[in-house]
Amino acid sequence: MKPVEYRTGESFARELDAADPLARFRDAFLVPGAPGGGAVRYFAGNSLGLQPKGARELMDREMTDWAEQAVAAHFGARTPWFDYHLVFRDPLSRLVGAEPAEVVLMNSLTVNLHLLMISFYRPTPERYKILVEQPMFPSDRYAVQTQIFHHGFDPASGLVEVAPRPGETTVRDEDVAAVIDREGDAIALVLIGGVNFLTGQRFDMAGISRAARAAGCRVGFDLAHAAGNVPLALHDWDVDFAVWCSYKYLNGGPGAAGGAFVHARHGRNARLPRLAGWWGNDPGKRFRMQLEPDFEPQPGADGWQVSNPSILAMAPLRASLALFDEAGMPALREKSVRLTGYLEFLLRERLAGEAEMLTGTDPEARGCQLSIRLGAGARERQRALAGAGFVCDFREPDVLRVAPTPLHNRYHDVWALVEALRT
């Protein structure tokens, strides 16, 4: 990728937008109105993605099929509900670097995390610990603590955390590897957020997976802030499992169904322990019910399903995934690196000494989110930004999370945000 020599002037931002090959995708989204008129500058795709314009038509289609066909829509709908989840296989596998049978859209992220930990967290008295990063997303932490407790161990000793070194804001990949090397015999599972929710740090998932396997540990990733944000290659990295939500960068809508990845070597293992439900059963026997009551998991990630697809929680995501396929992850990543680099440049040039950047400076060690510590008065500054039409995500006590997403953000959005922060 050819480096860009950034400049601070507004005209330069306009030049970048005029030359942006992905600029047209902004028109594929509905952008809320700003208090003073016009559209907001939206930097909160890391919390809730914007609505694709095609989402309403897809929702209306399912509502119409429900109204006109009722139960018959399970097989007679334009996209039959019986195997509705299958339409997401190919686009999701492309996004996360998997074989189609290794991914499934179902439930929500934390539910999927619990379901997969049943299979991949199999503690023994000698090996019962779970290695996580600090800070860990709270819902993941609750899930991990309760899984450790559920198996009869003490979360206080069972949870191993690798934290940033004193005076640093992100975790060093070599420190993760060092903990695995030092305590690997006692670690049953390595569970890391692929991109950290607070700092925006992108972990070396391939390296962590190699280190975990070498130590005999299972390895899983929470990709809530990674899916649709950074390139992924879960199959090639030999990851055991992964989970993600689809309402952030994937623009699936509030409460949209989550995703799960199970490596093919596990998907073929029908004897792997799991919590079963009828939609994970062999589809050919699913409606024979009492005639064939024993559970027979279908191969692949589909075998971890417990319930029938939540059609209305899935339909909008089809519109967004079509845009990802059209744009292509390589082009999105290229723009993301440049857009985020432009934000970093402006923060350093225009807000030197006023804003501390928590996220690292290496583009390979981050996605599109930069986390900025604003210090005293941070909440008031965030509210003032909102009043001026800038939507950013805030985390207590003083962190502004800014995510210029390449599908819909413009370079001029970034320039205007930094100018607003100055004033």
The pLDDT value given to residue 391: 98
CATH of the domain at 373: 3.90.1150.10
The greatest distance separating any two alpha carbons of the chain, rounded to the nearest whole angstrom, comes to 72
How many whole angstroms separate alpha carbon 395 and alpha carbon 39? 24
Helix then strand then coil, in percent of the chain rounded to 5, is: 45, 15, 40
Residue 4 lies in a domain: no
Residue 46 lies in a domain: no
Query: Does 122 lie in the same domain as 199?
Result: yes
CATH of the domain at 149: 3.40.640.10
Residue 155 lies in a domain: yes
Query: Does 356 lie in the same domain as 239?
Result: no
Residue 35 lies in a domain: no
Domain boundary among 275, 293, 324: 324
In 3D space, the residue among 246, 270, 276 whose CA is nearest the CA of residue 115 turns out to be: 276
In a 10 Å sphere around its CB, with 0-12 CB exposed, 13-18 middle and 19+ buried, how is residue 308 labelled? middle
Query: Does 120 lie in the same domain as 256?
Result: yes
pLDDT in tens, 33-74: 999 899 999 999 999 999 999 999 999 999 999 999 999 999
pTM comes to: 0.97
- Quote the tokens at residue 32: 């809320």
Query: Does 337 lie in the same domain as 301?
Result: no
How many whole angstroms separate alpha carbon 113 and alpha carbon 107? 10
Count of domains forming the chain = 2
Write down how long the chain is.
Answer: 423
Residue 51 lies in a domain: no
The pLDDT value given to residue 220: 98
Query: Does 20 lie in the same domain as 75?
Result: no
Query: Does 272 lie in the same domain as 171?
Result: yes
Domain span at residue 392? 10-30+328-422
Query: Does 366 lie in the same domain as 272?
Result: no
Residue 47 lies in a domain: no
Query: Does 183 lie in the same domain as 90?
Result: yes
pLDDT in tens, 161-217: 999 999 999 999 999 999 999 999 999 999 999 999 999 999 999 999 999 999 999
Q: How many Cβ atoms are within 10 Å of 270's Cβ, its own excluded?
A: 12
Bridge partner list, 402 = 370
E strand or H helix that includes residue 242: strand 241-244
E strand or H helix that includes residue 356: strand 356-357
Residue 146 lies in a domain: yes
Domain boundary among 324, 357, 377: 324
Tens digits of pLDDT across the chain (423 residues): 777 899 999 999 999 999 999 999 999 999 999 998 999 999 999 999 999 999 999 999 999 999 999 999 999 999 999 999 999 999 999 999 999 999 999 999 999 999 999 999 999 999 999 999 999 999 999 999 999 999 999 999 999 999 999 999 999 999 999 999 999 999 999 999 999 999 999 999 999 999 999 999 999 999 999 999 999 999 999 999 999 999 999 999 999 999 999 999 999 999 999 999 999 999 998 888 889 889 999 999 999 999 999 999 999 999 999 999 999 999 999 999 999 999 999 999 999 888 899 999 999 999 999 999 998 889 999 999 999 999 999 999 999 999 999 999 999 999 999 999 998
- Quote the tokens at residue 390: 């800038």
Residue 287 lies in a domain: yes
